[in-house]
Structure 1
């Protein structure tokens, strides 16, 4: 079967009429790629396909938990003109008895205050087929049975529960029973048991018939309790899911009002106090720096003049001290010359020289002093005029930069604190979150309680059924002396045994095929080529075991999260192959939780071979430019869905806008 076209009119986020051409251009290009951001209409596209084919039969796979009419009413675009209604139309083809037939299915509906009116039509080869329209549910059960449709139409993010090796046995069992129609075999076996019971009722003794009647009534009552408990579990599960939704809404509302900032208020206040301490310490250091010689740097010329004056005064003081020493020395020297017998002329010459030298020094020593600085003050002054000046300025710069940085941090902190909402404004929202969390916990407790009650009812029903069968077998043994009853029981037992053997043999045969398909899929998808060398499925419990190349069983915790998702995809792929149905494969959000290597494996080894037609509904973060180039040789058509806020609806355009950064910005 090939999907040629889907038309959406006022359906979900699609306002107005939108048409998607889906026919692959060739067998080696099976992929139809549809890109969209979250919320733009990918899941709505998948729901439209399921709604078109299955109508009410697809109810379990459509969003929402209400009645079918409520779903249709909510599926009409809220911004569409009143009374315009909505429509989903799908064109597809399939080959029957060597002849290709073209089909068109159309569901249109409109809503009034009282009810929803739906129109369904099937057109075959261009003509309205009223018979097929009325019998469509039987026809689609042969074309694409709703019970196996999830093997072909699935959400990549919702298959994670298949990845659990324990849970996967359920999908295997469901898939095999649906694919092979073994539910008919089970109904035949039950019918034979009912026939045996009726025959015994006709031929057994009065006491045994009464016992059997009582056991049958007890079994009906037990089965009724099981159904009631199942209904109760379903109802409570809906409440639990609704409580999760209400909690999410309350959390979003709290976050929108700045609840996350309010939660950090104490930390921000403590940080402000630490910054205040740091600021005070920085200011204290700056004041200490300024209290020393720093103010003199404001008058560099005066400082230089003072330094020169200090040098002169140092020289004056030194000269004065030297004069006192020279006077004594000169007297001693003249006396020595006289003792040595120097002539009077020589002595007079030396005396004149000494006198002139002292007079010259006295001129220097007699200069006026103004500063009278101590030695330490002179050293400090010299430091400020020399290399110490640059050091002092560097110290000033470092202190000021530190002070500016601290003040900037504190200003930023003040702005953040100013944006924190007041406690009274978020208190109702905080209470709403708390109440929602309490409601969710209560719903989870109630769900656990109802599940336990359902399991207990299942156990009780199994015990009652066992007692019923025991009485039934007892009656069979007592009534085997009746010839016609004996023949009936013998033939019935033989038929039941044959049916059981038939089911076992068929299951074993198909399980071998599924094992082969699963091993092929896992080895194609897993990055570790030697991780799985064998797949075995128990034909009774449908439990799956993976065996490595060394023969040991691969435990579930040995698989990474990505490998478990690939396991789920391989499982669905194997069941789809085993079904023999030539249906298109439609995958919503195919790569959401996989790393780059696992995404590459899917792009190379799964998408191009998942079916004759593969429709991928992807976000820009999943199939990016690199994966698009890898898939390009297998892509027939591509579209990009964008939400137009002005038009209040999604629009589809040809081409995959996320194939390049330029296209992404344009989208």
Structure 2
């Protein structure tokens, strides 16, 4: 089966008509739909099962819950404040039927009839001549022969009342749900360690044995009705002895039914069964079926009660939040937050004061500060020249004394030295006269003071003003946060009321826990009863076989006995064969998905309990607690994939949020090895935090089409566009989970 197109009209967040073209090629088998949380991925995920199976789209099958769901799903036009009166989902798909590829269109439409749902189903088949879809009906055009007429009636002439049955036969729901799985289902299987229950609930449907079981039950009822009239009421001596054993069990067993079950289902009694055992076996069978029915009814009531308690707990939590319970619980955190903010405000205030008392005033007169800087630099030059003058005056006599000494250039005459001295003194005095014209300093400041002022002027840049703006903005934010905390503390709710609601929440949580425990125990007992029923059926069949050999049966009975034997053999052989296939497929899936090479070497599944056991290459068992969280999710994914593969059906895989809890290595395995090769069509619904730029590039060669599902806040509806977020690394933002 290949899904060609999905059309969602005014359903959920999808306002108006929205079309997804999902056609793929053998080389490009992946359809990638990206969307953030709340954009409509879950609605798209559920739309296929809703369109195909209506109220039976999930396992609950409750009419009221289904109607409420559809009522909530009518699109709401936020701009006009109206709710649509009609919604629909349509699917076009190719499926191999009678050796040919046929294309069908299934459309399910819902209308709001004053709070009640009117549902309409349409099944159409593509007509090659007109290239249009034509509705299936009861007309039979020009049948040439009875055989042709019969084939046409079977294929195309289906009354409207049988359309849903036609869909169920075409695509059985029990098989279809194996191919549509989300991260939540995988997480549930991985966390709850209930994979055996999941396999058990899917296996017989997967094999088509649910129909076989119904036939066996009908045949058993037919034979038991006949047998009850033929069995003699008087017990044989052997039966009397067995009755004494039964009486002992009745005295010791907790109830009569458990006594009968313990007696009639013991393996060692199998060879001792006689025809006389049939009547009490049938009686026990009737009691057991009644007990199963009663426990099943109690289970359903407990589930409803549990749902009500969960809703009650949710309402109590909402009430707790509304009256400020969250603030009450976080009171100490708020006190610490207030202290931290107060400390930050103090630091910010000090920095603002420091800037205002030092650099800020100078920033306001930058032109004048430049003039002061120039004058200070001029004063520094004047001081420097004055220092030079003092040095020359002090050293002038010393220079003359050195020049006139006998030790200085003794070969030169003394008169010549005196002339040199006179000329040199003359030059220096002329220089000193020039220096006398230099003005005195403008500021009467020391050299150190001038250096400090120049440093201050240099630091007083425009960046100081920017820093002041930044600090004042930060101060306002901190101050507002502090005021909010003070306000919340002032309106802190009444402690007694808070504690009352907390007690109510605790009581409801305890009640919920007790209900869950009671439900688990009851489901376990129910499962045991069903197992006992299977064993009891085997005992009854053994007695029926004895009776068949003992009495002369009618031809109808003989046929019924033969059919029962064939069905039993068929079921056992098929289970054995398919469990072996399932073990191989699960092992193959683990080999593809796990990043540890040859970590799991063998997989076994118990044919009675469906318990899965993993082994390493040494033959040692790998228990579930030895697996990491990511490996558990990979294990659950391989299990679901293995079941789907074992069904032998070629249906599309649709996977919602597949990578949420996986580490990098397992994500790469899924992207590189699993998604491209898992099916002839794989539809992935992902956020950009799962299939990011890196994984998109690895998956791109296998992508036939990609879409982005975006919720438009301004219009209050989801829109679809081609592509996948940004195709450049910088554009593909990663969400923080």
Write out per-residue CA displacement over residues 554-599 of structure 1, whole angstroms, 9 at most, x where no aligned residue: 1111111111111111112212222121111111111111112211
Alignment map for 1:542-557 (pairs within 5 Å)? 542-557=610-625
Asked if 1:563 is matched to 2:631, the reply is: yes
Asked if 1:145 is matched to 2:172, the reply is: yes
Partner secondary structure for residue 614 of structure 2: strand
Match of 1:361 in 2: none
2:663 equivalent among 595, 613, 617: 595
Match of 1:128 in 2: 135
Alignment map for 1:637-656 (pairs within 5 Å)? 637-656=705-724
Alignment map for 1:119-268 (pairs within 5 Å)? 119-125=120-126, 126-130=133-137, 131=158, 133-163=160-190, 167-206=194-233, 215=284, 218-219=287-288, 221-243=290-312, 245-246=314-315, 249=318, 253=322, 258=327, 261-268=330-337
For residue 230 of structure 1, report the CA deviation from its aligned partner: 2.1
Q: CA distance change for structure 1 residues 61 and 155 in 2, over 3 Å: closer, same or farther?
A: farther
2:342/2:482 contact within 8 Å kept: no
Output the CA distance in 2 between the equivalents of 1:429 and 1:121: 54
Q: CA distance change for structure 1 residues 256 and 629 in 2, over 3 Å: closer, same or farther?
A: farther
Q: CA RMSD in A?
A: 4.4
Alignment map for 1:344-359 (pairs within 5 Å)? none
Partner secondary structure for residue 183 of structure 1: helix
Q: CA distance change for structure 1 residues 171 and 275 in 2, over 3 Å: closer, same or farther?
A: closer
Output the CA distance in 1 between the equivalents of 2:591 and 2:530: 43
1:247/1:440 contact within 8 Å kept: no
For residue 536 of structure 1, report the CA deviation from its aligned partner: 1.6
For residue 456 of structure 1, report the CA deviation from its aligned partner: 5.2
Write out per-residue CA displacement over residues 497-530 of structure 1, whole angstroms, 9 at most, x where no aligned residue: 5433332221121122222222121111111002
Of the structure 1 ranges 413-422 and 230-239, higher mean CA displacement relative to structure 2 is found in 413-422
Partner secondary structure for residue 178 of structure 1: helix
Q: CA distance change for structure 1 residues 600 and 247 in 2, over 3 Å: closer, same or farther?
A: farther
Output the CA distance in 2 between the equivalents of 1:614 and 1:223: 40
Output the CA distance in 2 between the equivalents of 1:502 and 1:162: 30
Of the structure 1 ranges 224-233 and 627-636, higher mean CA displacement relative to structure 2 is found in 224-233
Of the structure 1 ranges 447-456 and 122-131, higher mean CA displacement relative to structure 2 is found in 447-456
Output the CA distance in 2 between the equivalents of 1:257 and 1:235: 29
Output the CA distance in 2 between the equivalents of 1:128 and 1:544: 46
Output the CA distance in 2 between the equivalents of 1:481 and 1:580: 39
Match of 2:48 in 1: 49
1:440 equivalent among 497, 509, 530: 509
1:196/1:489 contact within 8 Å kept: yes
Instruction: Report how many residues are paired.
Output: 548
Q: CA distance change for structure 1 residues 513 and 622 in 2, over 3 Å: closer, same or farther?
A: same
1:640/1:655 contact within 8 Å kept: yes
Match of 1:378 in 2: none
Of the structure 1 ranges 546-555 and 157-166, higher mean CA displacement relative to structure 2 is found in 157-166
Match of 1:395 in 2: none
Partner secondary structure for residue 50 of structure 2: helix
Larger Rg: 1
Write out per-residue CA displacement over residues 540-567 of structure 1, whole angstroms, 9 at most, x where no aligned residue: 2222111112221111111111111111
Partner secondary structure for residue 46 of structure 1: helix
Output the CA distance in 1 between the equivalents of 2:317 and 2:693: 33
Match of 2:407 in 1: none
Output the CA distance in 2 between the equivalents of 1:461 and 1:175: 16
TM-score (norm 1): 0.71
Match of 1:367 in 2: none
TM-score (norm 2): 0.65
Q: CA distance change for structure 1 residues 213 and 184 in 2, over 3 Å: closer, same or farther?
A: closer
Partner secondary structure for residue 440 of structure 1: helix
Unaligned 5+ runs, structure 2: 127-132, 138-157, 236-277, 348-446, 453-470
Match of 1:76 in 2: 74
1:584/1:611 contact within 8 Å kept: yes
Output the CA distance in 2 between the equivalents of 1:40 and 1:489: 61
Match of 1:613 in 2: 681
For residue 243 of structure 1, report the CA deviation from its aligned partner: 4.3
Q: CA distance change for structure 1 residues 642 and 233 in 2, over 3 Å: closer, same or farther?
A: same
1:247/1:437 contact within 8 Å kept: no
2:320/2:326 contact within 8 Å kept: no
Match of 1:300 in 2: none
Q: CA distance change for structure 1 residues 165 and 552 in 2, over 3 Å: closer, same or farther?
A: farther
For residue 450 of structure 1, report the CA deviation from its aligned partner: 4.4
1:452 equivalent among 507, 521, 524: 521
Output the CA distance in 1 between the equivalents of 2:481 and 2:487: 10
For residue 9 of structure 1, report the CA deviation from its aligned partner: 1.2
Alignment map for 1:266-277 (pairs within 5 Å)? 266-268=335-337
Output the CA distance in 1 between the equivalents of 2:33 and 2:317: 29
Asked if 1:23 is matched to 2:23, the reply is: yes
Unaligned 5+ runs, structure 1: 279-384, 391-403
2:34/2:708 contact within 8 Å kept: yes
1:519 equivalent among 584, 587, 594: 587
2:593/2:674 contact within 8 Å kept: yes
Partner secondary structure for residue 174 of structure 2: coil
1:527/1:597 contact within 8 Å kept: yes
Match of 1:10 in 2: 10
